[in-house]
Chain A
Amino acid sequence: MKIKLGVFFGGRSVEHEVSVITGIQAINNLDRGKYDPVPIYMARDGAFWTGEAAGKIEEYSDIPSLLKKCVRVVPVGREGRADLVLYPPKRFGKNIYDTLDAALPAVHGTNVEDGALQGFFRTIGLPFAGCDVEASALGMDKYAMKILFAAGGLPVLPGVKLRARDFAADPETMLDEIKGKTGWPAIIKPFDMGSSVGIRIAENREEARDALEYAFSFSPAAVAERAIINLREINCAVLGDADEARASECEEPVSSGMILSYEDKYVSGGKDGASKGMTGLKRLLPAPIPPEMREKARALAVEAFKALDCAGVARIDFLLDSDSGELYINEINTIPGSLAFYLWQPLGLSYSELLDEMVRLALKRERERDERSFSIDTGILKHYSGQGSKGSKR
């Protein structure tokens, strides 16, 4: 008997296409001796589609045509698994396309990586890999993350949270605030977007004004931080959960401009121009940093992972100030592109083994959840007469 693992990718997110790559890569690397992967493509309107064609990367060059080869389903929870029920249902015959034992979310960005999809699985009772709802939500909020890390004594750059509404009402005060708190140059980014979308560096007040307009076009809030002038970026992944977490090798992604752009990350591919996701990005792996710096980054990565109570595999992105030698945590990615498998290969952990571990952790979490009791028979429904105007919660 093989474990039926639903791999979910796509979704109503800016990073929809990248997620398709992550999802299909994962499917191709699952141990077929242990798993029966079920590809589930989430279309831009939120519908779930599945079928053999959904697992083939070449089909995604023409999505309308792909959908004709797929069936639309709705995952319905049943006894700790999920039935994929055909939608619309057939009049005659079986309406359950398949039954999943667990889910692997391979989604990126707002509306999917931020706890929305995780919350859905938790509601229907299906075990799922990766971070739980709370860690996913925090991991998507650049400002909340920053405060939590700072509270845990982890090094972060001081930042300020800015709201689009305030900018519309009084831009000058906001620009003064940025000048006061972070100074120039400042980096301005939407507070909840992934993959470097909407990020600009502002060298002066006018550039900051433009940068804020740009950021607020993506999100109702933004974060401004001091921009490091001689910046290097170091990434490190962590695998595990609150009980057991270990760090991967460190990499230094290489950019074309001052910061890695969306184009850098996902459009620059191999010679044939085909996009390979994070694997196609130019990178230095292992990162050319001294061993003490490597160990420091790896240790900080694990602390950051635990500070947010993460699970599965997450990638922690650091900012290295070449001038001062200081390492700062930039952000955590709770579902990294390509699940950061390439960061584990140097340590001898294959992609297949990485996925195995993620599924094991997912089942462990669900087991522990089941052990907690969630209902106490208070009998209030038996005695509630429905006539009081004050309700029953004191």
Chain B
Amino acid sequence: MISDLFYAILGVCFLFCMTMLLIRSLHIFQLNSYKPAVQRKWVADNIFEWLIKTVWVVLALPAAKELGSFGFVFAAAPFLLVGLLWLPKKAKKPLVYTGRVKRLIFTLALICLACVLIGALEAGSRAKICIVMVFIALAAPYAVLAANFINRPVEKAINNRFINDAKRIIRDMPGLIVIGVTGSYGKTSVKFILGKLLTAGYETLVTPESYNTTLGVVRTVRERLRATHEIFICEMGARNPGDIREICDIVKPRCGVITSIGPQHLESFGTIENVIKTKFELADALPGDGVLFYNADNAYAAGRRVENAATVGYGTENGDWRASEISASARGTEFTVTGPDGVRMRLSTRLLGRHNVLNITGAVAAAVYLGVPVSDISAQVRRLDPVLHRLQLLGAPPRLIIDDAFNSNPEGAGAALETLSMFEGLHILVTPGMVELGKRQYELNRVFGEQAARVCDFVALVGEKQTQPILDGLRLAGFPEASVRVCDTLEEAIAAADAFRQGTPRVILLENDLPDNY
């Protein structure tokens, strides 16, 4: 019948429109890391743009109501129009069709198809179905959340299957030595440094990039662990108590490294005591013949007793393994490491910063315990590559540059100044200041200025308005006006830095690089 044909046309256009809308909503959901709260916030922030392109579907309602069965053809037109408006554009980070996305598509397809089919079978309900169609189209981003909610039991079951698979793989490799690395900061650095040292003697797997959640670890075990691996260094991150225990249950670590404990993620932890308790879940999981390596300079890490396994401390002031005689030069940092039984080595690395000396010392302690010869350790420390734009040493004497563009926090900035002070020659700071510090932005930048005054001979600030707090800090500390320049661009600032007392050897610290929208 004709009205069936017209309804079929409406159905097709609706499905076309929904496909476009839902692909986009799914894409957003994926970019929001599948977090409902973030998705809701995104909708709130972007409601205007969303409605401008979508609201036209409401025109389907009068068309359906007024024009009877003919109306369905005219109701199809708004859906077609909106679908065309939402044709996918080339995106920088396109939608990845993972298993989870495909399962969401399945559920969403069911919802839309069910809707169309009911109308197909029951001619009388078609007008009501049209209303439902309009509603779904307008609420597409929320439809994705509904599908996510419906899929939750399935996702949980799949995750459990992956977790059990990872446990099985670890059980199937009884000779594998697993080393857990955790800490409030420094764990990614220590993980990579330790990996480099151990690879001199063992087939070593390290969790990639910053995969430190349960699912990230599970994925690493399932996709990257091979029969040939002898050591698995597993970075363990935590936001809530129990997070680390969950990872330890899967990988069963034999050794652990606690790099630091500090007031991070207090929104989810609550108190520092919870942070300590959670990090030490790693120590709790170690077997009787296991060893915990911990940062003895960090009061929280050093203060906790461990009964179930041996402990080895490392640090620059405390610990069984001690770093001393630290000096920096164009070649990087040199320092001496002393350990139990009279072990002593003079190490040289291209990495900068006291924290890196500490990190390397901890890794050395673990490497020696695992039997890597001292000569190999020394060679590997030399080979350590600095991370791009994190205290990266560039240039050559008489003009050295410390590129710390990727630092984004006040502790890091302070540490960078301390590193600068270790060098010979003029100490010059070039910075646009730190941003996204919320209520404390003024205060922290001013403190940064005060710290800089104690270390620097010359400071070039980029951007008058945002570096005002730093200037205030410099003035408060009595820094001479003649040694400060406020510039508009980075190029100007560097030129000023080069012009200051030309001819004298210098080290220029580039602290922070601002994102383009500032």
Contact = CB atoms under 8 A, between A and B. Distances in A.
Nearest to B230: A363
Interface in A312-343: none
Interface of A is mostly: mixed
A1 interface: yes
B169 A1 contact: yes
B228 interface: yes
A367 B383 CA distance: 14
Contacts of B169: 1
A1 B169 CA distance: 7
A367 B203 contact: yes
Interface in A1-35: 1-4
B227 A371 contact: no
A363 B228 contact: yes
B202 to A, nearest CB: 8
B227 A363 contact: no
A368 to B, nearest CB: 9
Nearest to B170: A1
Interface in B172-216: 172-173, 199-200, 203
B227 A3 contact: yes
Q: How large is the interface on A (under 10, 10 to 19, 20 to 34, 35 or more residues)?
A: 10 to 19
Contacts of B227: 1-4, 101
Interface centre among B199, B200, B228 (most CB of A within 10 A): B228
A3 B199 CA distance: 19
A102 interface: yes
Contacts of A1: 169, 172-173, 225-227
B471 to A, nearest CB: 39
B221 to A, nearest CB: 11
B228 A101 contact: yes
Contacts, number: 23
A102 B199 contact: no
Contacts of B203: 363, 367
Contacts of A370: 199
A102 B383 contact: no
A1 B225 CA distance: 10
A125 to B, nearest CB: 14
A101 to B, nearest CB: 5
B199 A367 contact: yes
Contacts of B383: 371
A142 B203 CA distance: 36
A370 B227 CA distance: 18
Given A2-B227, A102-B228, A371 B199 contact: yes
Interface in A80-104: 81, 101-102
Contacts of A4: 227
A81 B203 CA distance: 14
Interface centre among A1, A102, A367 (most CB of B within 10 A): A1
Nearest to B224: A79
A4 B228 CA distance: 9
B243 to A, nearest CB: 27
A1 B199 CA distance: 21
Contacts of A371: 199-200, 383
Interface in A190-213: none
Contacts of A367: 199, 203
A102 B199 CA distance: 18
A50 to B, nearest CB: 19
Nearest to B202: A367
Interface string A346-386: 00000000000000000100010011000000000000000
A362 B141 CA distance: 54
Contacts of B225: 1
Given A1-B172, A371-B383, A101 B199 contact: no
Interface string B378-403: 00000100000000000000000000
B39 to A, nearest CB: 35
A102 B173 CA distance: 18
A38 to B, nearest CB: 13
A371 B197 CA distance: 11
Nearest to B199: A367
A116 to B, nearest CB: 25
B371 to A, nearest CB: 14
A370 B203 CA distance: 11
Interface string B222-253: 00011110000000000000000000000000
B200 to A, nearest CB: 8
A238 to B, nearest CB: 22
Interface of A: 1-4, 81, 101-102, 363, 367, 370-371
15 contacts: A1-B173, A1-B225, A2-B227, A3-B227, A3-B228, A4-B227, A81-B226, A101-B227, A101-B228, A102-B228, A363-B203, A367-B199, A367-B203, A371-B199, A371-B200
Given A363-B203, A367-B199, 4 more contacts: A1-B173, A2-B227, A81-B226, A101-B228
Closest 8 CB pairs of A and B: A1-B227, A3-B227, A1-B172, A101-B228, A2-B227, A1-B173, A3-B228, A363-B203
